[in-house]
A and B are shown apart, each in its own frame.
Chain A
Amino acid sequence: MERFQYTRARTVSEAIGIAAHSSTAQQGAPVRYVAGGTTLVDLMKLGVERPTHLVDINKLGMNAIERTKEGGLRIGALVRNAALAHDPTVVRDYRALSEALLSGASAQLRNVATTSGNLLQRTRCMYFRNTAMACNKREPGSGCSAINGDNRTLAILGTSPHCIATNPSDMNVALVALDATIHVQGPKGTRTIPMQAFHLLPGDTPDRETVLEPGDLVTHITLPPPNARATSRYLKLRDRASYEFALASAAVVVEVAGGQFHYVRLAMGGVGTKPWRMSAVEERLTGAAVDDATIRDAAQLAVRDAKPQSENGFKVELAQRCLAHALRLATGLASI
């Protein structure tokens, strides 16, 4: 572990003022905000993150869950994962979000992990986390050890020849399906970013994971008003029963009318280099009959562009089963 300076920010502008001096808000950032610390401190111990200045944002409030004027939800950046998952409004109106959060990590971690920290958690690629090994995301240009390495858990969608790491967050998958908006305050003021545009594809700069610039502080996330006639679900598949990242997961928001898919929002996790919105599948489903054949067809379409790696070819099949079953659960074709 390196020596670093630590500031407990008292105001948002103080925090942003310090972080604005950072050369980057991406991998290698010399200034980092610390929220729950469950990603950041872990990576600092591993030597993957080496900030020289930590700005603790835990005293900045930003921890309320409120109704918006439009009837949506405003979630403060520092709302803990457990609080968000058990919030009665979330449980009732945004079930996929609650289910996604509760499927992640462990009860202890969820008690301390925050909404913004979860949004910005880093990949679990084992080579990224091991400084003795080459990794383009950690050290641009050093190579990608996961390609031709142990890539069983990594992505089949959105990969590049430079990086195939998954975004590991469960919450993010639900946020994509729920059309969330990220609210950011930076040195130049505030701005909003649609969840789908927040994370970047690896391309040839896998060290750049989000659109954040130095000083940018995520202040809150908003959700649009819930579709009262829709059902939302999150299904996570993994080797063991709990405390493991997804091999494949799906968040679905579905409204059925007259035996047809009327409104559909789909996103998948564990398979993409970012939380993966399935827009083409949404289109295909909208207006189609709710039956097994439609669902199977939709699942196939979901992996049309999949590019399996040496060890994760099974994800092409698993992803289809995952999406199909999530749709069955949301439409009542299956109950467990």
Chain B
Amino acid sequence: MSRSKALGAPSAPKVLGGKLPRIDGPLKVSGRATYTSDISLPGMLYAVPVRSTIASGRVVAIDDRVARKMLGVRAIYYRGNIRPFFRSGPAQGFSGLIDEKRPPFEDDVVRYYGQYVAVAVAQTMEQAKAAADAVRVQYAADAHNVERRLVAEKSLETDSERGDAEGAFKSAPVQIDQTYVTPTEVHNPIELHATVAAWEGDRVTLYETTQAVMNHREVLYQMLGVPKENVRVVSHFLGSGFGGKLWPWSHSILAAGVAREVGAPVKLVVTRQAMFETVGHRPRTQQRFRLGATRDGKLVSMQHEYLNETSILDAYKEDCGEATPFMYSVPNLRVASALARRNIGTPTAMRGPGAVPGLFAMESAMDELAIALNMDPIELRRRNEPLQDESTKLPFSSRHLVECMQVGAEKFGWARRDPRVGAMKRDGLTIGWGMATCSWGAMRSDAQATVEIQRDGTMSVTTATQDIGTGTYTVLALVASEATGIPLDKIDVGLGDTTLPPGPISGGSWATASVIPAVSAAARAAVRSLLTLSTSGKNAAFAGATPDDLHFANGRAARKSDPSSGVPLGDVLARANVRAAVGSGQSRTTFGGEESRKYSLHSFGAQFAEVTWQPETARLRVSRFVSVIDAGRMINPKPARNQIEGAVVMGIGMALFEEARYDKRYGAPINSNLADYIVSTNADAPAIDVTFLDYPDLVLNELGARGVGEIGLAGTAAAITAAVHHATGVRVRELPVRIEDLLRA
């Protein structure tokens, strides 16, 4: 189990709300943090899959005669010569989820380019790669479809509806009717997906790049056909996932399967190219957004009809209408959606799934409406601020969107804005300003944690959630420290292992909100058990007292009435002949829970972007960004700020650069590398000013903390394209904004 020691962490007088650096920081910057692909086991072999070079058709024959005899090669596996895999059954809540449900080699049909059709196993990675390249696969190719323009496979289904949206739109004095497109985006975390599978008899340990060890086990035991308790999944550090590592992908099942066949540990690292094919992506969306309003800017109708691409077998829905029903006050509304099937790998959740592309459409349409009304975009939103969630008729647990806009406007200097296109100049460049709002759900899921206070004054905190680079190790140490008074440098946090108490997935921005109450309860329970031990038994330190008479501070149990009565905790445990004072805690999910029946739970924010534009060279850059986020109480603002800043940088990529393009003849993602699929570089990242409003959301949990992992990406692209329009007069409705678009200015 990995223990992330609080290495030289400075002691803050009030730990919560302080700016604590990550306790795992020194391990990471010194290279001692062991990531999945760093794991090396004795006798380990390497697996390299053979990826199909057609996007649709059948595998007719596989010739591995050459490959099998190559240096170092142990085996070539494909359909028919390896024990088949099962499908896993339907998920229960957030357990048992997998997006690409077909196990590798289930049939001989190829449905997307890059689908695994065989796998080579050899002593070194290079040998396995050479062997994989030498496997000759004969295909019978069929026509494939990777068309960019999406057409609904069935009629649209209603996601949310109130009033008469169509009628109200038709009679509205001001109308906006536009279609917005977001491209296929690939998560591209720097850490490649990887699995190291090691069997001992019929038990397997999977070192896995996963954001959800518990879910991974739930799926894998079913697919491998072994008892659940025989599967252990470990993920100590993750080089990020952005959602792409939430649910298992074929390579993990394949690695476990071939390791079982060859009887040796196997490492499989997915290549960057394959990461565009087999481990999910944010699907392309095409969203028609219609707004009807009165001349004074009151919304009367909102219609959001959207399509997203999905794979042939899996009906992945990108929930673009996530925020549409509650964001603004509008009496008549309809959100409806449908899928478009493509010969592509199965899509999956990517940072802010649904809301991020959805808010690009909605907030772009709102900006276009503000221009049509000749109204300040902040004023337009203020006039449509709802008093409650109008889709559920529930009060918001905590909504400060108007204040987000006000604070943002002040920080940004919005009052100085000249709304005329191209009117603002600085240093010989045209500048453009744009803003958008954002939201992301505030949720909590089930979580359990255990805290043990040891005789030597140290404490361990364990739960099977993950630190995906967001600072979970640090936050949990802080929470446990606050609950017990035990200093950070005496706290070990253990995460990312299915042998630990079940913890939540690191997704949906709810890991922190879910696990904090469990850890805090576990820590209090451990203290309580310590105090109970000091009052009971024949050697009790405080015989005759009740636990309520005592408190625990500075590593000692003492009478509340007499602080000098303190007994070191080691003595308390020794007298009771107990190894450690143990407490466990849990928190319940909000999904279907009481809170979600009484409240509408969301975070909100406002994004302000400045771009510079040089028409002579068609050069556009984001030069300044202000983000004001209402996400409850900030437990550790430093990593929280990192999350927003990182999301804004990603949002710049979404607005200006990122797009996976499929070659229509080969059906392959063609720019499947980081030179041709471009993301923001440091040089593209401007100064980013992040403010948290810090209103505790006590409906969600006792600390009032909501998650911040995703919300920073929401609204960012819309704020940027609004700024682009302000600078250039070009309204880009299909992302990314390209030089081609700007040359029209």
Residues of A within 8 A of B (CB): 1-2, 47, 124, 126-127, 130, 132-133, 145, 148-150, 235, 237, 239-245, 247, 314, 317-318, 321-322, 324-325, 328, 334-336
With a cutoff of 8 Å between Cβ atoms, the chain A residues found around residue B675 in the complex are 124, 244-245
**A to B CB contacts below 8 Å, 24 in the list:** A124-B675, A124-B676, A126-B671, A126-B676, A132-B666, A132-B668, A145-B665, A145-B666, A235-B617, A237-B617, A237-B619, A239-B656, A239-B657, A239-B678, A240-B657, A240-B681, A241-B684, A243-B683, A244-B675, A247-B739, A314-B740, A318-B743, A324-B616, A334-B428
Whole-angstrom CA separation of A133 from B665 in the bound complex: 10
Is the Cβ of A314 less than 8 Å from the Cβ of B678?
A: no
Of residues 645 to 672 in B, which have CB atoms within 8 Å of A's CB atoms? 656-657, 661, 663, 665-666, 668, 670-671
With a cutoff of 8 Å between Cβ atoms, the chain A residues found around residue B129 in the complex are 1
Is the Cβ of A240 less than 8 Å from the Cβ of B665?
A: no
Return the contact of A240 from the options B130, B661, B680 (Cβ within 8 A). B680
With a cutoff of 8 Å between Cβ atoms, the chain B residues found around residue A145 in the complex are 663, 665-666
Q: How far is the CB of A126 from chain B (nearest CB, A)?
A: 5
Q: How far is the CB of B485 from chain A (nearest CB, A)?
A: 47
Whole-angstrom CA separation of A239 from B678 in the bound complex: 9
Is the Cβ of A241 less than 8 Å from the Cβ of B53?
A: no
Whole-angstrom CA separation of A324 from B675 in the bound complex: 28
Given contacts A124-B675, A237-B618, contact A150 B666 (CB under 8 A): no
With a cutoff of 8 Å between Cβ atoms, the chain B residues found around residue A127 in the complex are 670
Is B126's beta carbon under 8 Å from chain A? Answer: yes
Is B425's beta carbon under 8 Å from chain A? Answer: no
With a cutoff of 8 Å between Cβ atoms, the chain B residues found around residue A314 in the complex are 739-740, 743
Is the Cβ of B618 less than 8 Å from the Cβ of A240?
A: no
Inter-chain contact count A-B, CB under 8 Å? 83
Q: How far is the CB of A99 from chain B (nearest CB, A)?
A: 15
With a cutoff of 8 Å between Cβ atoms, the chain B residues found around residue A317 in the complex are 743
Q: How far is the CB of A291 from chain B (nearest CB, A)?
A: 15
Is B427's beta carbon under 8 Å from chain A? Answer: yes
Q: How far is the CB of B553 from chain A (nearest CB, A)?
A: 52
Return the contact of A126 from the options B656, B670, B681 (Cβ within 8 A). B670
Whole-angstrom CA separation of A295 from B619 in the bound complex: 19
Is the Cβ of B671 less than 8 Å from the Cβ of A242?
A: no
Residues of B within 8 A of A (CB): 53, 126, 129-130, 133, 427-429, 614, 616-619, 621, 656-657, 661, 663, 665-666, 668, 670-671, 675-676, 678, 680-684, 738-740, 743
Is the Cβ of A239 less than 8 Å from the Cβ of B738?
A: yes
With a cutoff of 8 Å between Cβ atoms, the chain B residues found around residue A318 in the complex are 618, 739, 743
Given contacts A150-B670, A336-B614, contact A242 B683 (CB under 8 A): yes
Is the Cβ of B671 less than 8 Å from the Cβ of A325?
A: no
Whole-angstrom CA separation of A149 from B428 in the bound complex: 38
What 7 A-B pairs are tightest by C-beta distance, nearest first? A241-B683, A242-B683, A314-B740, A132-B53, A241-B684, A325-B616, A150-B670
Main secondary structure of the interface of B (DSSP, over half): loop
Is the Cβ of A335 less than 8 Å from the Cβ of B126?
A: no
Is the Cβ of B133 less than 8 Å from the Cβ of A240?
A: no
With a cutoff of 8 Å between Cβ atoms, the chain B residues found around residue A2 in the complex are 130
Can you name the residue of chain A whose Cβ is closest to the Cβ of B738? Answer: A239
Whole-angstrom CA separation of A216 from B663 in the bound complex: 38
Whole-angstrom CA separation of A184 from B619 in the bound complex: 39
Whole-angstrom CA separation of A2 from B129 in the bound complex: 10
Given contacts A1-B126, A132-B666, A336-B428, contact A241 B616 (CB under 8 A): no
Is the Cβ of A321 less than 8 Å from the Cβ of B618?
A: yes
Q: How far is the CB of A82 from chain B (nearest CB, A)?
A: 17
Of B133, B683, B739, the most chain A CB neighbours within 10 A belong to: B739
Is the Cβ of A336 less than 8 Å from the Cβ of B429?
A: yes
Whole-angstrom CA separation of A41 from B445 in the bound complex: 48
Is the Cβ of A334 less than 8 Å from the Cβ of B616?
A: yes
Given contacts A241-B621, A325-B617, A336-B428, contact A149 B670 (CB under 8 A): yes
Is the Cβ of A149 less than 8 Å from the Cβ of B681?
A: no
Is the Cβ of A336 less than 8 Å from the Cβ of B427?
A: yes
With a cutoff of 8 Å between Cβ atoms, the chain A residues found around residue B619 in the complex are 237
Is the Cβ of B130 less than 8 Å from the Cβ of A1?
A: yes
Can you name the residue of chain A whose Cβ is closest to the Cβ of B737? Answer: A239
Given contacts A321-B618, A322-B617, contact A239 B126 (CB under 8 A): no
Can you name the residue of chain B whose Cβ is closest to the Cβ of A312? Answer: B740
Whole-angstrom CA separation of A314 from B681 in the bound complex: 24
Whole-angstrom CA separation of A2 from B134 in the bound complex: 11
With a cutoff of 8 Å between Cβ atoms, the chain A residues found around residue B666 in the complex are 132-133, 145
With a cutoff of 8 Å between Cβ atoms, the chain B residues found around residue A130 in the complex are 668, 670
With a cutoff of 8 Å between Cβ atoms, the chain A residues found around residue B684 in the complex are 240-242
Return the contact of A321 from the options B126, B429, B616 (Cβ within 8 A). B616
Q: How far is the CB of A203 from chain B (nearest CB, A)?
A: 24
With a cutoff of 8 Å between Cβ atoms, the chain B residues found around residue A126 in the complex are 670-671, 676
Is the Cβ of A240 less than 8 Å from the Cβ of B656?
A: yes
Return the contact of A150 from the options B661, B678, B743 (Cβ within 8 A). B661
Can you name the residue of chain A whose Cβ is closest to the Cβ of B676? Answer: A126
Q: How far is the CB of A134 from chain B (nearest CB, A)?
A: 9
Whole-angstrom CA separation of A336 from B133 in the bound complex: 49
Can you name the residue of chain A whose Cβ is closest to the Cβ of B740? Answer: A314
Contacts beyond the supplied A127-B670, A133-B663, A149-B665: 9 A-B pairs with Cβ under 8 Å? A126-B676, A150-B670, A239-B678, A239-B739, A314-B743, A318-B739, A318-B743, A335-B428, A336-B614
Q: How far is the CB of B276 from chain A (nearest CB, A)?
A: 12
Of B53, B427, B617, B668, the most chain A CB neighbours within 10 A belong to: B617
With a cutoff of 8 Å between Cβ atoms, the chain A residues found around residue B661 in the complex are 150
Is the Cβ of A328 less than 8 Å from the Cβ of B616?
A: yes
Whole-angstrom CA separation of A72 from B349 in the bound complex: 59
Can you name the residue of chain B whose Cβ is closest to the Cβ of A47? Answer: B133
Whole-angstrom CA separation of A238 from B559 in the bound complex: 70
Whole-angstrom CA separation of A148 from B69 in the bound complex: 40
Whole-angstrom CA separation of A322 from B616 in the bound complex: 8
Whole-angstrom CA separation of A124 from B429 in the bound complex: 32
Q: How far is the CB of B581 from chain A (nearest CB, A)?
A: 51
Whole-angstrom CA separation of A135 from B429 in the bound complex: 42
With a cutoff of 8 Å between Cβ atoms, the chain A residues found around residue B678 in the complex are 239-240, 244
Q: How far is the CB of A154 from chain B (nearest CB, A)?
A: 12
Return the contact of B681 from the options A47, A150, A243, A325 (Cβ within 8 A). A243
With a cutoff of 8 Å between Cβ atoms, the chain B residues found around residue A247 in the complex are 739
With a cutoff of 8 Å between Cβ atoms, the chain A residues found around residue B614 in the complex are 336
With a cutoff of 8 Å between Cβ atoms, the chain B residues found around residue A328 in the complex are 616
Whole-angstrom CA separation of A74 from B683 in the bound complex: 33
Q: How far is the CB of B354 from chain A (nearest CB, A)?
A: 27
Is the Cβ of B681 less than 8 Å from the Cβ of A242?
A: yes
Can you name the residue of chain B whose Cβ is closest to the Cβ of A150? Answer: B670
Whole-angstrom CA separation of A325 from B619 in the bound complex: 12
With a cutoff of 8 Å between Cβ atoms, the chain A residues found around residue B680 in the complex are 240
Whole-angstrom CA separation of A243 from B305 in the bound complex: 38
With a cutoff of 8 Å between Cβ atoms, the chain B residues found around residue A242 in the complex are 681-684
Q: How far is the CB of B125 from chain A (nearest CB, A)?
A: 10
Whole-angstrom CA separation of A318 from B616 in the bound complex: 9
Whole-angstrom CA separation of A1 from B72 in the bound complex: 14
Can you name the residue of chain B whose Cβ is closest to the Cβ of A127? Answer: B670
Whole-angstrom CA separation of A187 from B490 in the bound complex: 71
With a cutoff of 8 Å between Cβ atoms, the chain A residues found around residue B676 in the complex are 124, 126
With a cutoff of 8 Å between Cβ atoms, the chain B residues found around residue A132 in the complex are 53, 666, 668
Whole-angstrom CA separation of A1 from B678 in the bound complex: 26
Whole-angstrom CA separation of A254 from B337 in the bound complex: 59
Can you name the residue of chain B whose Cβ is closest to the Cβ of A334? Answer: B616
With a cutoff of 8 Å between Cβ atoms, the chain B residues found around residue A334 in the complex are 428, 616
With a cutoff of 8 Å between Cβ atoms, the chain B residues found around residue A244 in the complex are 675, 678
Is the Cβ of B683 less than 8 Å from the Cβ of A149?
A: no
With a cutoff of 8 Å between Cβ atoms, the chain A residues found around residue B427 in the complex are 336
Whole-angstrom CA separation of A145 from B676 in the bound complex: 16
Whole-angstrom CA separation of A149 from B667 in the bound complex: 11
Can you name the residue of chain B whose Cβ is closest to the Cβ of A126? Answer: B670
Of B126, B129, B671, B676, the most chain A CB neighbours within 10 A belong to: B676
Can you name the residue of chain A whose Cβ is closest to the Cβ of B615? Answer: A321
Whole-angstrom CA separation of A157 from B63 in the bound complex: 44
Q: How far is the CB of B574 from chain A (nearest CB, A)?
A: 56
